[in-house]
Amino acid sequence: MNLNILYEDKEFLIVEKPVGMESQSARSFEPDMVSEVKRHIHTLSPKAGEPYVGVIHRLDKPVGGVMVYAKTKEAADSLSKQVSAHKMEKIYYAVVCGKPVENFGTYVDYLWKDGKNNSSKIVDKGIKDAKLAELSFKVVDKAEFQGEELSLMEIRLKTGRHHQIRVQMAGHGNPLWGDQKYNPRFQQKGTRTNVALYASSLTLSHPITGKKMPFSIKPKGEIFEPFTFLKGF
């Protein structure tokens, strides 16, 4: 495959992860982002041994968007610290069914991950292994698709939990379009859809110079096309 690389230097690269690809090393024979990035680095600069690729953050397999991968351990350490300190800003666009009660706000919940079923759910604070999940949202556009009212939401994560956006949106009454795991409408057998979620923007500080660097890309997928907000993106 041809990687869509938005930026690259000796320390890290910014790349667009396609929908349907694992963001880290996959256990199957299917392609994954780490393998593709390693292949790209080796092609540019063939050296003995396997290139180093540091995974800084993750995107769910059915979600596409902007990602950063480190090319050195020093860069990986710096970038990981930015994530832990919530200094790496990520903006997502999601298409949800219906319209949220409020046009903007914050959701604060506790999520519990079910490793057996690869899913998460909102639980009470006192539940063992429950983790705080917080995000802010803003409704930026509305549209109709296949006779259904949909809302385009801009979402900023304050924490990074398993399936966080998908779980919290569904839990608050507005599941994502196409989400076969958390939206009952798309759980029928034989249904094949992509989750209407895209990691559209990423802002970080360069791991060496400290310079603030923003990167963005327009959400891809048929479900995003009805929204005029994205026309001039």
More confident residue, 189 or 199: 199
Instruction: Tell me the per-residue pLDDT of 77-96, one tens digit each, with 9 for 90 and over.
Output: 999 999 999 899 999 999 99
Say if residue 1's pLDDT is above 80: no
Say if residue 20's pLDDT is above 70: yes
The three-state secondary structure class of 9 is coil
Instruction: Tell me the per-residue pLDDT of 199-212, one tens digit each, with 9 for 90 and over.
Output: 999 999 999 999 99
Tokens of 185: 């409408």
Q: Tell me, what's the pLDDT at 124?
A: 95
Domain that holds residue 194: 4-230
Active site annotation includes 60: yes
Whether the predicted model's global pTM rises above the 0.75 cut: yes
Domain of residue 206, CATH code: 3.30.2350.10
Range 174-182 average pLDDT: 94
CA distances from 89 to 4, 155, 161, 205 (A): 21, 11, 15, 10
Range 63-87 average pLDDT: 95
Q: Count up the domains in the chain and report the number.
A: 1
Catalytic residue among 9, 32, 60, 124: 60
Asked whether the beta carbons of 79 and 68 are under 8 A apart, the reply is yes
Tokens of 184: 């009952």
What is the percentage of the chain residues whose pLDDT exceeds 90?
Answer: 76
